Chain A
Amino acid sequence: MKILLNNREENIDAEKVTVSELLLRKKYSFRLRIIKINGTLVRKDKYDSTFIHEGDNVQMLYLMSGG
């Protein structure tokens, strides 16, 4: 399936994936992030139960300490 990940088209070799699975497949290792799917924020405790489907717009923002 094709999704939009931070405004870039990505091919994912599955019909749907959970948020956790996407993070694993992309080898994303940032400690803290904000994830929005089609404009809706997904909380950390929902990463295992929230699915990403064909055509979804996934936005990730990375949070680093310092300010």
Chain B
Amino acid sequence: MKFSEIAAHLSRFRVGIAGAGGLGSNCAIALARCGIGTLVISDFDSVDESNLSRQYYFMDQTGLPKTEALKDNILRIRPDATVLAFQEKLDRNNIPGIFSGCDVIVEAFDNAEMKEMLIEAVQELMPGTPLVVGSGLAGWGNNDTIRYRKIDDTLYVCGDELSEVSDEFPTLAPRVGMVANMQANVVLELLMKQL
């Protein structure tokens, strides 16, 4: 299949990205490059200089809402993409509305409690919508511990499910980028099956 055919197929789909940090910003860019038609991005935070170590933002974007900055960056790569940006803190009440119509949702939060909240909300309130979770990516090295698991048709996880971030064990660009791109790759696999 030629790239133009793949991109034309992917242009029919809408993908939700919950969180626009290290996972979400890098995953969104990868998906945009492949030709996904509509990206729904949600994050309440603004770009901080410290984010630039691993997130897909630029120095001149510090202070901007992440959703606005990420939308700009996606449109610089793919002016024809549709990006729906929600600068909101996600919770059980607003998740089904914000991500309604999404063919797949990517879980891209930093905090484990938020990951749990999103998984419970999507699985319970949006049954049948596939969710791709990122879990366990802090630190460096250990390429071979990062893995992908299919739990069932609606739940997938990328990461080592072991490494927890801390002040002494931060999230760094290579491993968070690996997991973000694995999540994007799962999304492609799910959407390319729908030919």
Contact = CB atoms under 8 A, between A and B. Distances in A.
A59 B149 CA distance: 11
B94 interface: no
B132 to A, nearest CB: 12
Contact of B152 (A43, A59, A63, A64): A59
Majority secondary structure of chain A interface residues (helix, strand, loop or mixed): loop
B136 A32 contact: no
B171 interface: yes
Contacts of A34: 116, 119-120, 155
Nearest to B137: A66
Contact of A59 (B124, B136, B151, B163): B151
A41 interface: yes
A39 B123 CA distance: 10
A67 B171 CA distance: 7
Contacts of A64: 112, 135-138, 159-165
Contacts of B19: 67
A32 B165 CA distance: 14
Contacts of A66: 110, 136-138, 163-165, 171, 176
Interface residues of B, number: 38
A34 B135 CA distance: 11
Contacts of B116: 32, 34, 63
A24 interface: no
Contact of B23 (A39, A59, A67): A67
Interface of A: 31-32, 34, 36, 39, 41, 43, 59, 61-67
22 contacts: A31-B112, A32-B112, A34-B116, A36-B151, A41-B119, A41-B120, A41-B123, A59-B151, A59-B155, A61-B149, A62-B162, A63-B112, A63-B115, A63-B161, A64-B138, A64-B159, A64-B164, A65-B165, A66-B110, A67-B22, A67-B137, A67-B171
Interface of B: 19, 21-24, 108-113, 115-116, 119-120, 123-124, 133-138, 149, 151-152, 155, 157, 159-165, 171, 176, 179
